[in-house]
Amino acid sequence: MVKSIRGVLLMVCGYFRGVCHVTPNLSAAASGGRDGGTSQVEVAVIQHVCHYTFPSAAQASSPDRHRTMNPDITRERQHATFDVEKLTHILDGGPEKTRRRREIESMVFSDPDFKEEDPNFLSRSERYDQAVKKSAQMILKLREYGIADPDEIYCYKNCVHPDRPEPLDLHLGMFLPTLLNQATPEQMDRFFMPAWNLEIIGTYAQTEMGHGTHLRGLETTATYDPATQEFVLNSPTISSIKWWPGGLGKTSNHAIVLAQLYTQGNFYGLHAFIVPIRDMDTHIPLPGIVVGDIGPKFGFNEVDNGYLKLENVRIPRDNMLMKYAKVEPDGTYLKPPSAKLTYGTMVFIRSMIVGESARALSKSCTIAIRYSSVRHQSEIRPGDPEPQILDYQAQQYKLFPLLAMAYAFSFVGQYMRRTYNRISGDITQGDFSELPELHALSAGLKAFTTWATNSAIEVCRMSCGGHGYSRSSGLPDIYVEFTPTCTYEGENTVMMLQTARYLLKSYRQAKAGQQLSGIVSYLNEPKHQRVQPQPVAARPTVVDINDLASLVEVYKQRAAILVDLAAKSIEQELQQRKSQEDAWNNSAIDLVRASDAHCHYVVVKLFTDKLVEVGDTAIHSVMSSLALLYALHGITKNSGDFLQAGLLNVPQVLQISARIKELLSQLRPNAVALVDAFDIHDKKLNSVLGRYDGNVYENLFEWARRSPLNSTEVHESFHKYLKPLRSKL
């Protein structure tokens, strides 16, 4: 099953969502192909993974759909105009994938070992405890069942810890892969197998309290002492304390520490060192190690993100990861062979995050739309019964564009994953030509989709009225677990600027007459290079607001114009004798805006492209409405850009507003079916409001009664403070 060490790498990477708190540059170094043959360790791992066969799943289909249903939601389902199951297959990538996904879900959800108490009812320490317990079980079962396909492991893990990060994420997602990529064979034998068997539990300690994105700024030092053939590691300042690595606080006994290397009085920059931090047997921190949990966060309660302060910690010379760079026993530094920089892991994780945006958004839409179909409130016509709140135009206008966005991001996520696989195939064959584009695209799309999803989750939550604030709705948890994606694996504004750098480079190449290929080829189209904002009247109207191809064209032109505008801003700054760097900084607003428009164009284009693949007429019809809604809604939200550039005129903008209202009505009967098609198991959704059966109120009451504050009838504070107060007043 695991055909290569690359498979193991992908597996452990794919295993875990990008919760590594690793900033771009170095996670890059954690990828790259291996050039040697299969080592002893690799063979052991492969044998291990392949030893067992799959158990037969207890039940194949996910929720029990024969229970008593809320009649409102049943009626909604009866009105759907398309086959929900077929759309689920499209989202999963085929009926076989759907079947297997449900099989894995059933495996986990029917397994009593994974039964959990609602984390919202537990203290932080209890949540961590429960997560460690489940992670240990998970490791055992994955190996027992021989589940080894990266996608399947990812699926399994996301059922065990429903879309939550967990304490072993960094061990499996960063520590092991880094060993695979940067350890010498001797180091592999010494560290990998014990780590594979969880004697060594490791993390990846890069970020410091005072230093994130900018790796050259990291302060931790590793000074070589030839007398003892050891490195001496130090955290010379408060700001140099390692901060944030997952699993560092309480779980790990080893860390790969990134530190600035000094040897023979010279400075050689950042290198990676394996540092034992806790006793293997007692788990007590070792001398010179100050380690602990960084304290409560907004979400991530299951993870012990940690700090690590190093006080003259000595490690053997051969604990430096020396597959590339080396320090000889006498302290001589050997440069790494100029390895091709590969962006593999980084691109992979960012591409995965696009898919995560889609998942978080799909869950949020499922909850908000199902709830809106069973919640009745106020009145439209006096005397009529209270309507379902989904019948309010204002509610549809909040939710349906987000539903369209969830589908858009799902398809973009599929595209990114497919493209990554294709390009990583090319890379294996030495062809790096498409990597820079994918790198730029994954950076921008990571930012574009996470920002949009971040806001969208909150719109969904607030669309559920008061009950959206209850933890039982599931929405607060979706938000707090998702929102870090805007910062980790590359802070979003930094990501947008990286994409802008690629766009500007391409723009200049195009201007210099070079023929661009790929998704930026539009920068070659000469008319855009001449485009100047001009009165609407001067431009012929060619846009058909009902034609997706025409809208893709408009989005493309908007992107081209905004790239041009950003380039002009830089030129102007340079003319005012600013340095290149200041000119860049003083154009940041325009650059981010250009990247945003580029990404928006890509999303509209990929959604439109996807429609070609959809053969089923009924599904094609509803998907086309969604794609149109996505594109038109994006135009109204950015109408200034389109008007400013003369790409649309005022009557068209007014027509678009009217068309959006029509689309809302058109999508209304299919709204519940469209979220059903995401096929999110109730146990994954973990939302009283979003339950498949629509039985919200009885379950809300049931949930509340189990809440810890209700474990006693009278809270002790009554006797301690309130009753005594009477006599004092």
Binding residues for FAD: 207, 246
Q: How far apart are CA 585 and CA 388, in angstroms?
A: 50
Which residues, including other chains, have CB under 8 Å from residue 619's CB and lie 6 or more apart? 82, 83, 86, 87, 90
Taking CB under 8 A as the criterion, the residue among 44, 574, 588, 618 binding a copy of itself is 588
Which residue type occupies 104?
I
Candidates 221-229, 296-304, 669-677, 678-686; binding stretch for a copy of itself (CB under 8 A)? 296-304
In whole angstroms, the minimum distance from the beta carbon of 292 to a copy of itself comes to 4
Q: In angstroms, what is the minimal distance from the CB of 352 to a copy of itself? A: 19
Select the residue interacting with a copy of itself from 18, 331, 401, 468 (CB under 8 A). 468
Q: Which of 34, 297, 620, 683 binds a copy of itself (CB under 8 A)?
A: 297
The residue from 211, 317, 363, 558 that contacts a copy of itself (CB under 8 A) is 211
Question: How many angstroms separate the CA atoms of 290 and 285, rounded?
Answer: 7
d(CA 222, CA 313): 9
Residue 30, classified by CB atoms within 10 Å of its CB into exposed (0-12), middle (13-18) or buried (19+), is: buried
Give residue 668's identity as a one-letter amino acid code: R
**Looking at 53, 56, 68, 282, which residue binds a copy of itself (CB under 8 A)?**
282
Residue number, 264 or 697, with CB nearest to a copy of itself: 697
Q: Does 287 bind a copy of itself (CB under 8 A)?
A: no
- Least CB distance from residue 668 to a copy of itself, whole Å? 12
DSSP class of residue 472 equals: G
Tell whether the torsion through CA atoms of 429, 434, 435 and 438 is positive or negative. Answer: negative
Interactions with a copy of itself, residue window 406-465 (CB under 8 A): 454-455, 458, 461-462, 465
**614, exposed or middle or buried, with CB in 10 Å at 0-12, 13-18, 19+?**
middle
Footprint (CB under 8 A) of a copy of itself, residues 36-95:
none
Report the residue number, 321 or 496, with the smaller CB distance to a copy of itself: 496
Residue type, 639: S
Rounded to 5 degrees, what are φ and ψ at 405?
Answer: -65, -40
175 binds a copy of itself (CB under 8 A): no
Q: In this structure, what is the dihedral angle of CA atoms 60, 63, 65, 67, given to the nearest 10 degrees?
A: 120
Of the candidates 177, 236, 172, 170, the residue with the CA atom closest to the CA atom of residue 204? 170
557 close to 647: Cβ distance less than 8 angstroms: yes
Q: Of the two residues 60 and 284, which places its CB atom closer to a copy of itself in the complex? A: 284
Interface of this chain with a copy of itself, residues 221 to 260, rule: CB under 8 A: 238-239, 241, 243-244, 249-251
What is the Cα–Cα distance from 204 to 274, expressed in whole angstroms?
9
* Residue 201 found at the interface with a copy of itself (CB under 8 A): yes
The whole-angstrom distance between residue 186's C-alpha and the CA centroid of its chain comes to: 35
Spell 344-381 as b/e; 16+ CB within 10 A means b.
bbbbbbbbbbbbbbbbbbbbbbbbbbbbbbbbeeeeee
Q: Which residue has the tokens 């309507």?
A: 387
Q: Which is nearer to a copy of itself, 35 or 713 (CB)?
A: 713
Q: What does the alpha-carbon distance between residue 415 and residue 425 come to, in Å, rounded to a whole number?
A: 15
Work out how close the CB of 204 gets to a copy of itself at its nearest, in angstroms, rounded to a whole number.
Answer: 15
Asked if 590 is part of the footprint of a copy of itself (rule: CB under 8 A), the reply reads yes
Q: Provide the annotated binding site.
A: 207, 246
Report CA-CA distances (Å) from 394 to 321, 400, 657, 665, 670: 58, 10, 13, 12, 17
Choose, by CB under 8 A, the member of 42, 163, 219, 304 that binds a copy of itself. Answer: 304
Q: Are 241 and 208 in contact (CB under 8 A)?
A: yes
| Window 528-567: residues binding a copy of itself (CB under 8 A) | 533-537
> Which 363-382 residues touch a copy of itself, going by CB under 8 A?
375-382
* Paired tokens of 486: 């805007």
Counting every residue, how long is the chain?
729
The yes or no reply on residue 341 touching a copy of itself (CB under 8 A) is no
**Sole window of 109-117, 182-190, 255-263, 385-393 interacting with a copy of itself (rule: CB under 8 A):** 385-393
**CB of residue 537 to a copy of itself, shortest distance in Å:** 5
How many angstroms from the chain centroid is the CA of residue 311?
A: 35
φ, ψ for residue 351 (rounded to 5)?
A: -65, -40
Per CB under 8 A, does 143 bind a copy of itself? yes
* Binding to a copy of itself, residues 617-656 (CB under 8 A): 636, 638-644, 646, 649-651, 653-654
Stretch touching a copy of itself by CB under 8 A, among 197-205, 257-265, 624-632, 669-677: 197-205
Furthest-apart CA atoms within the chain: distance in Å:
91
CA 639 to chain centre: 29
Residue 502: CB minimum distance to a copy of itself, A? 17
In the list 394, 542, 549, 612, the residue contacting a copy of itself (rule: CB under 8 A) is 394
Query: Of residues 270, 497, 566, 675, which one binds a copy of itself by CB under 8 A?
Result: 497
Position 716 contacts a copy of itself (CB under 8 A): yes
Tell which one of 483, 524, 670, 687 touches a copy of itself (CB under 8 A). 483
Q: Which is nearer to a copy of itself, 493 or 624 (CB)?
A: 493
Binding to a copy of itself, residues 670-699 (CB under 8 A): 697-698
Closest approach of Cβ 212 to a copy of itself, in Å? 6
What residue type is assigned to position 492 of the chain?
Answer: N
Beta carbon of residue 88, minimum distance to a copy of itself (angstroms, whole number): 30
User: Are the beta carbons of 119 and 130 closer than 8 angstroms?
Assistant: yes
Shortest distance, position 678 Cβ to a copy of itself, whole Å = 23
Name the one range near a copy of itself by CB under 8 A: 316-324, 433-441, 481-489, 509-517.
481-489
In single-letter form, the type of residue at position 462 comes to M
Given the residues 208, 356, 481, 489, select the one marked as catalytic.
489
Instruction: Give yes or no: 489 in active site.
Output: yes
Can you tell me which of 38, 197, 312, 546 binds a copy of itself, judged by CB under 8 A? 197
Span near a copy of itself by CB under 8 A; candidates 38-46, 56-64, 358-366, 486-494: 486-494
Residue 160 is a binding residue for a copy of itself (CB under 8 A):
no
Q: Pick the binder of a copy of itself from 33, 93, 276, 285 (CB under 8 A).
A: 285
- Dist. CA 333–CA 354, nearest whole Å: 40
397 binds a copy of itself (CB under 8 A): yes
CA distance between the termini of the chain: 75
Q: Angle at the Cα of 661 (from 658 to 665), degrees rounded to 5?
A: 145
Q: How far is the CB of 90 from a copy of itself (least distance, A)?
A: 30
Q: Does 115 bind a copy of itself (CB under 8 A)?
A: no
Pick out residues in 4-23 that bind a copy of itself (CB under 8 A): 21
- Does 700 contact a copy of itself by CB under 8 A? yes
Candidate list 512, 542, 612, 729; residue touching a copy of itself; CB under 8 A = 729
CA distance 69 to 247: 42
Phi/psi for 335 (5° steps) reads: -65, 150
Q: Where are the beta strands (DSSP E) in 213-282?
A: 221-225, 230-234, 242-243, 254-263, 266-276
Q: Which residues are catalytic?
A: 489
